[in-house]
Amino acid sequence: MPKDAQANSRTRSDTAVLEDTKALFIRRWGEMGIYWGISRTMAELHALLYISTEPLCTDDIMRQLQISRGNASMNVRSLIDWGLVRRVHLRGDRKEYFAAETDAWYLFETIMRERRRRELEPIGETIGKCVAMLDQSIPQLRGDSRDVAQECQRRLRGMHQFLVTVGSLLNLALDLGEKGMDMLAKMLSEAKSQPDGKS
Amino acid sequence: MPKDAQANSRTRSDTAVLEDTKALFIRRWGEMGIYWGISRTMAELHALLYISTEPLCTDDIMRQLQISRGNASMNVRSLIDWGLVRRVHLRGDRKEYFAAETDAWYLFETIMRERRRRELEPIGETIGKCVAMLDQSIPQLRGDSRDVAQECQRRLRGMHQFLVTVGSLLNLALDLGEKGMDMLAKMLSEAKSQPDGKS
DNA sequence: TCGTCCTTTCAGAAATCACTGAAATCATTG
DNA sequence: CAATGATTTCAGTGATTTCTGAAAGGACGA
């Protein structure tokens, strides 16, 4: 007889709902990971740690996600590199445990900072370099190729300007923090619903 | 002797700068595509159309990116599905040509709408369902498992609330449009640099 | 220092994703 | 409607990414 046989069917089924809920969340977060440019497993691992109330060790992760030790180790490390997961040491236990940051705004900040560093900045730099190259080259050109180059320049500048605006809005969002963003969202909604005359 | 041999070395080298610039832009945009969850080729194709002053046909694309007809066709279609590229018909030519939308703000709007539809909404729905499942289940639970479920619920609600805020800010951004966003960026910068007393 | 327990690494296997090219389909013209 | 030219599809192939499991590398206590 299994040791939890005394548990009545109600209790078992209720705990099952909790487990089902976690599983659903983990599965969906994993699917989204693909769209975010990280692997499904890495996103699932993040979801698992996010939804777990206690820190988990490598073996917990291996068991719950059905993945190998190496895979778990690599993906945990990536999440730590991203700043989304912390190592936790429990007194009197040689194992390492892991816990996710559970504040959604912290997640947003961290991911935005990383993406700015990895994406916004490199592409902005490259476009800047492109613009500079054309600035050098256009005065030498005549006729059609000059027109073409000028239209290219216009488009590159448009993109560059856009990236600058996004960058500064992102900086402002990060400065404002959660409360500021909530306030901003409210203020703007109100301004929209009852626009005053002195536009 | 090649037919453009009469072109002097200056002209050739200047046109080469334009070509190098385009190539650099295309290469970099392609690398970024990987981070955005689309394939390198699709991003390169988008960059090529973005930076080309004339619409291109499939053969132009095949030649310039060194890819097969099938690959070109599939990726052009995806870009059209995303709303980033238009078909263009030239009178008296049976071929189809393609051109990218060149307004950066339009790109932003279009990509944001698509991502809301493909990512924000599905994940929001799923988390909503998770919250509902726990709402049903928690009253049945007692003791530890109740506490655990309540902490899960707290985290799921936190994430849900965050997604709602992001969604409404996104709506506002789309309503404001380019000019509004520029204005907002300026206003907020000023407010930051010289905060008035009556906060 | 050795033995134990845990973590990390990495070569090779497996799975996934992207691409090619030829055949099928579609559209246009004579 | 047949001929021509363009486009789309998709099975097979190639490339890339992800995963496994075993070996190597620590850290700690005895």
Query: A93 exposed, middle or buried (CB, 10 Å; 0-12, 13-18, 19+)?
Result: exposed
pLDDT band at A129 (very low <50, low <70, confident <90, very high): very high
Any chain B CB within 8 A of the CB of A68?
A: no
Cα dist from A157 to A48, A196, B56, B193, whole Å? 43, 35, 22, 27
Report the distance separating Cα A143 and Cα A151, nearest Å: 13
pLDDT at residue B3 tops 80: no
Query: What's the mean pLDDT in B132-140?
Result: 95
Q: Is A144's Cβ below 8 Å from some Cβ in B? A: no
Query: From the CA of B64, how many Å to the C1' of C21?
Result: 18
Instruction: Work out the angle at residue B82's Cα, subtended by the Cα atoms of residues B80 and B85, and round it to the nearest 5 degrees.
Output: 40
pLDDT for position B6: 44
Chain D positions with a protein C-beta closer than 7 Å: 5-11, 17-23, 28
Shortest Cα distance, chain A CAs vs residue B143, angstroms: 11
CA nearest neighbour of B65 among B52, B48, B86, B77: B48
For residues A15-42, average pLDDT: 94
Q: For residue B79, is pLDDT > 60?
A: yes
Weakest mean pLDDT among A4-18, A61-75, A177-191, B128-142: A4-18
Task: Assess whether B67 (CB) lies less than 7 A from strand C.
Answer: yes
Residue-wise pLDDT tens digits, B12-58: 566 899 999 999 999 999 999 988 888 999 999 999 999 999 999 99
Structure confidence at residue B117 (pLDDT): 92
CB of A26 closer than 8 Å to CB of A33: no
Distance (Å) of CA A172 to CA A181, A184, B43, B130: 10, 11, 29, 33
Nearest nucleotide to the CA of A68, by C1', is D20
Using the CA of B72, which nucleotide's C1' is the nearest one? C19
Q: For residue B118, which residues of chain A lie inside 8 Å, CB to CB?
A: 35
CB contact under 8 A, A134 and B18: yes
Which tens digits make up the pLDDT trace of B164-187? 988 988 998 899 888 888 888 888
Residues facing residue B86 across a β-bridge: B99
pLDDT at site A191: 76
Find the helix or strand (DSSP H, E) in which B177 lies.
helix B143-193
- B137 CB neighbours in chain A (<8 A) are 14, 17-18, 21
User: Which tokens go with A80?
Assistant: 């730590």
Q: Tell me what percent of the residues of chain B surpass a pLDDT of 70.
A: 90
pLDDT of the residue at B106: 94
| Chain A from 21 to 60: CB within 8 A of any B CB | 21-22, 24-25, 28-29, 32, 34-37, 50-51, 53
On chain B, the residues whose CB falls within 8 A of the CB of A35 are 37, 115, 118-119
Distance CA A27, CA A34 (A): 12
Do the Cβ atoms of B153 and B138 come closer than 8 Å?
A: yes
Proximity of residue B75 CB to strand C below 7 A: yes
How far apart (Å, rounded) are the C-alpha atoms in residues B109 and B72? 25
Question: Within an 8 Å CB–CB cutoff, is residue B3 touching chain A?
Answer: no
Q: Which residues contact A35 (CB under 8 A, 6 or more apart)?
A: B37, B115, B118, B119
User: Which pLDDT value is given to residue B2?
Assistant: 44
Provide CB contacts within 8 A for A72, sequence distance 6+.
A45, A58, A61, A62, A65
Contact check, Cβ <8 Å, A149/B104: no
pLDDT of residue A102: 96
Strand C, nucleotides covered by protein (CB < 7 Å): 5-11, 17-23, 28-29
Residues of chain A in contact with residue B108, where contact means CB-CB under 8 angstroms, are 162, 166
Segment A62-70 shows an average pLDDT of 98
Mean pLDDT value across residues A59-87? 97
Cβ of residue B62 near strand C, that is under 7 Å? no
Interatomic distance A100 CA / D15 C1' (Å): 34
Q: Which residue is nearest to nucleotide C8 (CA to C1')?
A: A73
Q: Which of residues 19-38 of A touch strand C (CB under 7 A)?
A: 34
In percent, how much of chain B has pLDDT > 90? 70
Contact residues, chain A, for B35 at CB < 8 Å: 37, 115, 118-119
CA dist., res. B53 & res. B102, Å (int): 10
